[in-house]
Structure 1
Amino acid sequence: MRGLAYQKRMLILTIVDALLIGSSVFIAYQLRFEMDIPLVYWNTVPKAVIIAVLCSYLLLYQFKIYKRLWRYASVGELYSIVKAITFGTVLFILLNEIIFYYSIPRSIYLISWMGCIISIGGSRFIWRMKKDKYTAPNKRKSGRNRALIIGAGDAGILITKELKHSFSQDIYPVGFIDDDLNKRNFQVNGLPVLGGRESIVENVKKHEVSTIIIALPSAPRSEIKQIIEICKQVPCTLKTLPSVYDLVSGKTVIQPMRDIDVEDLLGRDPVKIDLKGIAHYISDKVVLVTGAGGSIGSELCRQIAMFNPMKLILLGHGENSIYLIENELRNKYTELSVESVIANIQDQQRIDEVFDLLRPNVVFHAAAHKHVPLMEANPIEAVKNNIFGTKNVVYAADKYRVERFVMISSDKAVNPTSVMGVTKRVAEMIIQSISRESNTLFSVVRFGNVLGSRGSVIPLFKRQISGGGPVTVTHPEMIRYFMTIPEAVQLVIQAGAFAKDRGLFVLDMGEPVKIDTLARDLIRLSGFEPDKEIQVVYTGVRPGEKLYEELFTTRESLNATNHNRIFSARPELIAKKEIEMYLDKLKSKALHNHEDICLVLQEIVPTFRRNIEKSQQNSVDILNKKCMEYSVK
């Protein structure tokens, strides 16, 4: 059917173009002789028409004019028509002057050339104008969703074309917002430039806008954040174009728009990494990732794969998640050697076998139980996995002479108030105790919450908003540090290049964010009004949670590294024999008794559940001060 439609279209266009070209030549004769063609030239008119039609059609076909979609015609299509007609006219002249010798006045060539361009080009654009005239009013009438486009550049024009001509989109653009003074009071793609960002609120009310589309894919995230802050003042749904980096990296499919996400609220520019330094310790190496099926572990695998390791080992306990990341990597990196290992890090013998058989050079340890309330209810499982599982992996790395070992830790390990936090702190202590006497370069990377990880608050808020609410927040003063998963993983891999310091690395998480503010911003960006259309309900602080998280203790001095987003901290050292004594006690006395386990953990980590608020506020103040100092430098 499509072949028949194409042939029919070709036949119609060919006939129309032949008539237009022939008419142009005939009109050229009429104009040349002021509507009174001498008899001597009448005999050459049919011949000139035939030659001109054949020559012009040949060049139109050669320049693929008949394969263009004229609904989307622009200056490029008009330029192609001009070239085709010009070369066709040149061929017409050469054939007549060299072969046929017909008596054709030379002015006929010029006049017919102009006529062909006007008639053929005009016919295409008349058809397009007709489609525009047909589509736009219908869109205005049917589209109840009026949109304001921020950015009158190429991206904004692309969006307006799509929205104006697509019946599948129930959105119609009413105008542009652009800070460029040279565009003010002008029209772009038929829409007015209404003003700069300072006029967003005014124009939303004036034009009854319900959707704002940010068409600034190349703008810094800090600028996007400023625009979003203004847009929060109006009850509009926000959408944006994906960045070029997101498209190239495969993080999003090519689509006109996506909803504004909470990541846009952070306003941080992409992480800059030292590719050469990272490639030095990953390329052509056997790299093992524990917890490879998790949110952090799977992203580690994606980014490590880009640095051409000799082999990438995916170790995890859940077969489904490992299966998914393995398939993703095999499809995207066809030449990458990937090996999946289903194993529990709590099984010492199995972990020893894996290290003995596969001999990894670099290990990223991301396997852990991380849900705070769940671990409060299941402390034994937290200890078995986060402490003894880590011990198994760490000791195997030391035994089989792994070159570098990087453990993913948490801000909840600082002055812990939860079982999950204290088990991560003990895991840090295990690494710090062995690093002084091992040939392996051990390091710990500590950071806060990541956006979009499994069980994190952001997906929960989104589900609650899509369900009509209410949105549940534990406490109005609850504050957390946030970072995107790719951002955190890039910094983790970068920190691995600094592992020669055998230390503790703390990632700059930016400014802490109130969970209550985050929830309300998400509601607004979804087009609703908090506490009116979507209710915000406070449920109370859950077991083990703090109001304020910390990234380092007051005893851990913070120092700059070669990367402005990574800081090194001096860990509190503990002897290997001492930590092993504590672990033996933990295994013998606490692993079968829920009541005793916290007492032993408190003995290992004296700050567990003690003096939290004061040390916590001091730590937050110091981190903010340090981050500000180094960002200025």
Structure 2
Amino acid sequence: MISTGSNRVVLVFLFDLAAALAAWIGGFLLRFNFEWPAGYEQVIALGAVVLLPVHGLACWRAGLYRGLWVFASLPDLKRVLTAVGFSTCIVVLYTALYRQSPVVPRSLVVLYPLLLVAIMAGGRAAYRMWKEHRLYGALIAQGKPVVVVGAGRGGAMLVRELERSADWRVVALVDDDASKWGRELGGHRVAGAVDSLPEVLAAEKARHVILAMPSAARETSRRAADLAVQAGAQVFTVPGLEDVMSGRVALSAMRPVEIQDLLGREPVTIDAEYVQGMLAGRMVLVTGAGGSIGSELCRQLARFQPRQLLLFEASEFALYTLEQWFSTHCRDVSIVPLAGDVKDAARLEQVFAQYAPEVVFHAAAYKHVPLMEVGNAWQAVRNNVFGTYRVAECAARHRVERFVLISTDKAVNPTNVMGASKRLAEMVCQAFHARGESTRFQVVRFGNVLGSTGSVIPKFQEQIARGGPVTVTHPEINRYFMSIPEAAQLVLQAAAMGSGGEIFVLDMGEPVKIVDLARNMIRLSGYSESEVRIEFTGLRPGEKLYEELLADAEETLETPHPKLRIARSRAVQERFLADLLAWLVQEAPVPDEGVRQALQEWIPEYVPSGGGRPNLKVIANPEAERRKRVS
């Protein structure tokens, strides 16, 4: 039985043979002004007998029957030209060798290939146009109006995909290239620059924008997304340049713009070879491995072929979740899930003695500021400081090569117990380094990470899903943000370049107002502030308006990496570790005020915020709130 596909190939083959015959005869007709050339019947017939089999073979060898006409494009045109070239060579030979009278007109050498290309390529193009109109022509006036940002190759490919969808209708494009303004791409007008996006959206009554600028600078994409969000539009984006160039731009590849895209942080590049030299073939221990930073750190570490990854975690569920991720995505990486508390000296000794880790990343910590401020201050100190002491002491005794503490910007001029406890943990590492241990003790300090447990992003998402209100503590509060993968990569880079005793500070970019973050998230979710209101609840215990990355008394030094600097703090006293340990090992819990008083003695720059202040509720949109109460 002959398949439908085989039937199509036969039909296309016959079409190409007919095209050659039509071009051959048409060339004669053109030469003689569309009058039948009497006396040339033998020349035409003999030429056709010679030409048709050679042309058919040329078409087959050129691969013309591997493509589908409905997707006819440049590669198909190249195959057509290849086949026409071989066929024209036969015409040239026939013209040169045929010596009987009348001779073959020399103009056939030009007329034949021109007509043949027109018929073969035109036939394929016409079929594609007819097929696409039949399949998608009825969709042209349907779908949601959308403005495409970017009139380059990515935009052209996207417009072609959108025309085949019943869900979308392209109404205009915008691009910063002034040479494209007023011109058309796929029949759609390039209305102006990216800055004109709000006006174009209003004029076209469109509420959807798709970013198709895969090779543009991150700042340009961020500006376009900001303008679209502020205009109340929903924003989508297409993949990176490599996906565009490989032809994988499709509607299924589009995704909504996320809050990370609006922060506009450039992708991080690290010296992978340098990091590989630190980690390859090494036994690596990560404490707090199940947390937001710890788990991403483990995923990043897996790229550098450690001999084994030791996953140390107090939460059974977090440890199980991470183990399952590795069993699904990184089966070739050897892991050892270890349940344990960083304050448990016996458990730590067992782990260090049995597995002999060579590199330790200490990410285990309590991080939630208000939660640790009231009722849990002593536990914050015990976990963050005493836990660091126990792990650092064990690392020094077992002569670990590197010990890296994951710290926070809240350790700078701390106003809360959590930040002060992390500064004290930094001082523990400095003290161990000062003792001349063989272990390199390093600290990496950075700000908030997007999507981490306890961060505002998941909280805002949940509040928006409930219909609001979105609660922000203060109109002026701001924070530094970076993505979890970015933070983890820079931690590895800092660890690899450190020689011991440094406090590395990550470049957190520009601070972001939390209220602006909330507004953008509301708009990205497709709501306005009249539909989901923002409510100011007042600063929480221990919370400060502005975060800092460097203390006043610290100096910073540049490093070879543009996103890393070194902060040098004041030296710790010689008896610091002994006195600190005597305070930490007491069995009786210490009241919150007692903890704060002691922390002030250890850390002169620590100034408690005087937690417990009343929370003043302020409505960001009073008119919307009034309408809600009335209704």
> Is the pair's TM-score, using the shorter chain for normalization, greater than 0.5?
yes
Superposition deviation, residue 445 in structure 1: 0.9
Q: 1:237 aligns with which of 222, 234, 237?
A: 234
Check if 1:207 corresponds to 2:204: yes
| Inter-partner Cα distance in structure 2 for 1:178 and 1:224 | 11
Tell me the secondary structure at the aligned position of residue 539 of structure 2: coil
User: Residue in 1 aligned with 2:177?
Assistant: 180
The Cα offsets for residues 284-336 of structure 1, whole Å up to 9 and x where unpaired, read as 433333333332223323433444444444443433232244236526xx5xx
Superposition deviation, residue 533 in structure 1: 2.4
Check if 1:538 corresponds to 2:549: no
| Inter-partner Cα distance in structure 2 for 1:104 and 1:308 | 76
| Inter-partner Cα distance in structure 2 for 1:498 and 1:416 | 27
Q: 2:571 aligns with which of 570, 573, 596?
A: 573
Q: 1:258 aligns with which of 255, 260, 275?
A: 255
Check if 1:300 corresponds to 2:297: yes
Contact 1:418 1:544 in 2 (8 A): yes
Instruction: Summarize the alignment of residues 460-471 of structure 1 with structure 2, pairs less than 5 Å apart.
Output: 460-471=459-470
| Inter-partner Cα distance in structure 2 for 1:36 and 1:253 | 52
| Inter-partner Cα distance in structure 2 for 1:521 and 1:92 | 68
Identity within the alignment, %:
38
Aligned amino acid, residue 338 of structure 2:
I
| Inter-partner Cα distance in structure 2 for 1:477 and 1:386 | 29
Contact 1:238 1:527 in 2 (8 A): no
CA separation of 1:363/1:89 partners in 2, compared to 1, >3 Å: closer, same or farther? same
CA separation of 1:50/1:320 partners in 2, compared to 1, >3 Å: closer, same or farther? farther
Instruction: Summarize the alignment of residues 273-292 of structure 1 with structure 2, pairs less than 5 Å apart.
Output: 273-292=270-289
Superposition deviation, residue 29 in structure 1: 4.3
Instruction: Summarize the alignment of residues 363-402 of structure 1 with structure 2, pairs less than 5 Å apart.
Output: 363-376=360-373, 378-379=376-377, 381-402=379-400
Q: 1:404 aligns with which of 402, 405, 426?
A: 402
Q: Which has the higher helix share?
A: 1
The Cα offsets for residues 42-87 of structure 1, whole Å up to 9 and x where unpaired, read as 3565564455343333332333322224444333432221112222
| Inter-partner Cα distance in structure 2 for 1:476 and 1:526 | 21
Structure 1 range deviating more: 109-118 or 96-105: 96-105
Contact 1:24 1:112 in 2 (8 A): yes
Instruction: Summarize the alignment of residues 413-492 of structure 1 with structure 2, pairs less than 5 Å apart.
Output: 413-437=411-435, 438-492=437-491
Tell me the secondary structure at the aligned position of residue 474 of structure 2: coil
Contact 2:311 2:319 in 1 (8 A): no
Instruction: Summarize the alignment of residues 471-550 of structure 1 with structure 2, pairs less than 5 Å apart.
Output: 471-530=470-529, 532-550=530-548
Contact 2:358 2:400 in 1 (8 A): yes
Runs (5+) with no aligned partner, structure 1: 614-633
Superposition deviation, residue 153 in structure 1: 0.9
| Inter-partner Cα distance in structure 2 for 1:164 and 1:590 | 71
User: Residue in 2 aligned with 1:553?
Assistant: 551
Superposition deviation, residue 426 in structure 1: 2.6
Q: 1:341 aligns with which of 337, 344, 367?
A: 337
Runs (5+) with no aligned partner, structure 2: 612-631
| Inter-partner Cα distance in structure 2 for 1:406 and 1:246 | 37
| Inter-partner Cα distance in structure 2 for 1:358 and 1:254 | 49
The Cα offsets for residues 484-530 of structure 1, whole Å up to 9 and x where unpaired, read as 22222232222223421512122221222111111112223344322
Tell me the secondary structure at the aligned position of residue 141 of structure 2: helix
Normalising by structure 1, we get a TM-score of 0.84
Aligned amino acid, residue 357 of structure 1:
Q
| Inter-partner Cα distance in structure 2 for 1:244 and 1:381 | 49
Tell me the secondary structure at the aligned position of residue 141 of structure 1: coil
RMSD: 3.5
Contact 1:417 1:546 in 2 (8 A): yes
The Cα offsets for residues 100-135 of structure 1, whole Å up to 9 and x where unpaired, read as 999983655643433321112111111222244446
| Inter-partner Cα distance in structure 1 for 2:484 and 2:240 | 17
Superposition deviation, residue 160 in structure 1: 0.8
Equivalent pairs, count:
600
Normalising by structure 2, we get a TM-score of 0.84
Tell me the secondary structure at the aligned position of residue 67 of structure 1: coil
Tell me the secondary structure at the aligned position of residue 522 of structure 2: helix
Aligned amino acid, residue 412 of structure 1:
K
User: Residue in 2 aligned with 1:322?
Assistant: 322
Aligned amino acid, residue 165 of structure 2:
S
Contact 1:296 1:366 in 2 (8 A): yes
Superposition deviation, residue 436 in structure 1: 0.9
CA separation of 1:6/1:549 partners in 2, compared to 1, >3 Å: closer, same or farther? same
CA separation of 1:470/1:171 partners in 2, compared to 1, >3 Å: closer, same or farther? farther
User: Residue in 2 aligned with 1:75?
Assistant: 74
CA separation of 1:517/1:69 partners in 2, compared to 1, >3 Å: closer, same or farther? same
The Cα offsets for residues 395-446 of structure 1, whole Å up to 9 and x where unpaired, read as 2221121222211111222343444333322322221211111111111111
| Inter-partner Cα distance in structure 2 for 1:327 and 1:104 | 78
Tell me the secondary structure at the aligned position of residue 163 of structure 2: helix
The Cα offsets for residues 572-593 of structure 1, whole Å up to 9 and x where unpaired, read as 4334743343334333244487
Contact 1:237 1:525 in 2 (8 A): yes
User: Residue in 2 aligned with 1:128?
Assistant: 128
Contact 2:433 2:500 in 1 (8 A): no
Q: 1:223 aligns with which of 202, 210, 220?
A: 220
| Inter-partner Cα distance in structure 2 for 1:472 and 1:5 | 63
Contact 1:445 1:504 in 2 (8 A): yes
Tell me the secondary structure at the aligned position of residue 193 of structure 1: strand
Superposition deviation, residue 157 in structure 1: 1.0
